Structure 1
């Protein structure tokens, strides 16, 4: 049986070879979130978990995305 992804949000920053960065949200444990995000970005990119605390407002906003465990979502710049 596979390992559970968990139900918590993990924020990941991905960086391309050209220095471009993207911030992603994953519904997974940190180690799993890295793998999931690296699968979603172009080959050769790197990723690291950001140690950020979510405010209650952010938590509600992310919950409204209706992501399932194992899902990732790119956060666009505002």
Structure 2
């Protein structure tokens, strides 16, 4: 997983810094705007399904991840590992 850190630099955001809280759709919209990304091309991971459901409702690809093994599984599913 440490090999991913350089790829994530500047791409990991905190909802509080975006002026809201997950699963508010505005948080996801602000994150996408800040990253210059499109929802359909963005993967969101969280340990709480309520936040994953909010991201999906906002059009993002999203999955629940609770540990490193789960993250590897999700990254493989999306062709990112």
TM-score, normalisation: structure 2 = 0.29
User: Using CA pairs below 8 Å that are at least 6 residues apart, which structure has the higher relative contact order?
Assistant: 1
Larger helix fraction of residues: 2
